[in-house]
Amino acid sequence: MTSTVHPIRPHILWGTPHSLYTGKARSCLIKKGIAFAERCPSHPDYKARVRVAVGLVTFPVLETPDGQFIQDSTDIVTYLETLDSGVQPKSMMPSTPVQLAVAKLIDGFGLEGLLQVAMHYRWSYRDEQELFLQTEFGRGLYAGADREARRAAGRRVMDFFSSSLPGLGINLQTIPAIETAYEELLEALDVHFQNYPYVMGWRVSIADLGLIAPMYAHLGRDPYPTAQMKKRAPNVARWVERMQLPNTPDGEYAPHVADWLPDDAIAATLEPVLALLFKDWGPQIGADVASYRHWLDALAGLHAGQLVNINDGRMVHPTLGMVSYAWRGVQVQRASAVHGLWLFQLAQAAVHAMPADAMQRLAALLERTGGQDVMALRLPHPLERRNNVLLLQ
Ligand SMILES: N[C@@H](CCC(=O)N[C@@H](CS)C(=O)NCC(=O)O)C(=O)O
């Protein structure tokens, strides 16, 4: 079903420049050419209307011209796909089966699999970017002209976010592996973006939107990691810029048809990226699936609509407790990420909907990229997102 883009009131994107998940929603609006205004939570309406409607202190939130408030960057993209301007040629969802499944997988990898590295480079190098971070956190909270008041507003919330490092498994033992994994990913992406402007080829997709979340606000905007990205992988830095531009000034590439690759093909240069996705996100998904199964087994009775979280509270990042797994020669201990399971489920749904011939092509791709075991993982019970939280379906 399609609805009409409101002619007068624009969409309002509630979020901030330094917010990881806002970056996904913003790039989607920009690339679809949908008029929108962006507002920070410092605006009085955030507390009065947005927070109340969403039931959580978080962003991004998309306020639609007809008065809906949509939280979650993935739900925002799903909604934007239903608008008139979301139909071809602006849809973010590849129309062929293997490309769609791969794009959804990369979407999830960006949003959850790369959260750890994004938070590491923001907070482990805090001393090198303290003033920037104070100003950026303050930008979301203080709208006045007093520079020191903005920095002070930022300082007041920064410790909350930097304290999330242990829960993400970021510590002195894991940091070398986190950095090596990221450097390998940058290298693979740099080669890919030398060949193509977008993840799935010549046209932007949901894969770019998931990946831009960590790659913009943290890794491509905070001073320390941005310098690393520019020095090591300038083609990735250029893609980050491209994702903020409405049309595609892709004149740096040889003449091309601005579409996904023909015949449901996956670019050869994307295969090393997928291999890293399975290697680096796979162990986390495996541990999270096991912790979900364990949690379900311990429930007295399972009922649809039950909140999937360690306690009964509504949380932006629900968890079922700590998990532990081996990864790149270290033991990672971190909070399980229920949201990552939901994103993995969305990718798997695309796999299960495939016709047999596509499944065969996907199987060959998984064999080449080491993804068979990861894609064979099964959630013990489907998750559902409703009323801005994750529930048992
Ligand atoms: N799944 C949500 C996550 C949103 C999110 O984590 N937003 C951050 C700001 S970028 C936040 O509100 N963090 C506060 C918290 O974790 O409690 C989405 O995709 O929009």
Residue numbers of the domain that contains 30: 11-86
Nearest CA to ligand 1 atom 2: 72
CA of 16 to the centre of ligand 1 (A): 11
- Does the residue 206 lie in any domain? yes
Nearest-CA residue for ligand 1 atom 10 is 19
Residues 328 and 219 in one domain: yes
The first and second tokens of residue 153, run together, are 């507003």
Residues 6+ apart with CB under 8 A from 56: 71, 314, 315, 316, 388, 389
Contacts with 138 (C-beta within 8 Å, 6 or more apart), sequence order: 149, 150, 151, 152, 153, 154, 155
Angle between helices 147-162 and 115-123 (to 10 degrees): 130
The answer to whether the bond into 60 is cis (omega within 30° of 0) is: yes
Check whether residue 279 and residue 381 sit in a common domain.
yes
> How many angstroms does the Cα of residue 311 sit away from the middle of ligand 1?
18
Q: How many domains does the chain have?
A: 3
For residue 2, tell me if it sits in a domain. no
Determine the distance separating the centroid of ligand 1 and the alpha carbon of 315, expressed in angstroms.
9
277 and 339, same domain (yes or no): yes
Instruction: Give the 3-state secondary structure of residue 288.
Output: helix
Query: Are 139 and 224 in the same domain?
Result: no
In a domain, 338, yes or no: yes
Give the residue, by CA position, lying nearest to ligand 1 atom 16. Answer: 316
What sign results for the dihedral spanned by CA atoms 16, 89, 235, 211? positive
Judge whether 6 lies within some domain: no
Residues 303 and 354 in one domain: yes
Residues 201 and 142 occupy one common structural domain? no
Give residue 57 CA to ligand 1 midpoint distance, Å: 9
Answer yes or no: is 5 within a domain.
no
From first to last of its 393 residues, what are the pLDDT tens digits of the chain? 445 555 568 999 999 999 999 999 999 999 999 999 999 999 999 999 999 999 999 999 999 999 999 999 999 999 999 996 555 568 999 999 999 999 999 999 999 999 999 999 999 999 999 999 999 999 999 999 999 999 999 999 999 999 999 999 999 999 999 999 999 999 999 999 999 999 999 999 999 999 999 999 999 999 999 999 999 999 999 999 999 998 766 778 988 888 999 999 999 999 999 999 999 999 999 999 999 999 999 998 888 999 999 987 899 999 999 999 999 999 999 999 999 999 999 999 999 999 999 999 999 999 999 999 999 999 999 999 999 999 999
d(C-alpha 1, C-alpha 12), whole Å: 22
One domain, residues 62 and 187: no
Residue 64 inside a domain? The answer is yes
Task: State whether 257 and 129 are in the same domain.
Answer: no
Q: How far is CA 251 from each of CA 62, 63, 197, 233, 242, rounded to the nearest angstrom? A: 32, 35, 10, 19, 12
The answer to whether position 92 is within a domain reads: no
**What residues line ligand 1, using a CB cutoff of 6 Å?**
19-22, 58-60, 72-74, 316-317, 339
Counting ligand 1 atoms within 8 A of each CB, the residue from 21, 62, 77, 112 with the most, and so the one to mutate, is: 21
Angle among Cα 78, 102, 284 to the nearest 5 degrees reads 90
Claim to verify: residue 146 and residue 220 sit in the same structural domain: no
In a domain, 283, yes or no: yes
| Domain finish residue from 62, 86, 110 | 86
- Closest ligand 1 atom to 25 CA: 20
55 and 111 share one domain: no
Q: Does residue 113 share a domain with residue 129?
A: no
Cα 316 to middle of ligand 1, angstroms: 6
**How many alpha carbons lie under 13 Å from residue 264 in its C-beta half-sphere?**
17
Q: What pTM value is reported for the model?
A: 0.96
Residues 229 and 199 in one domain: yes
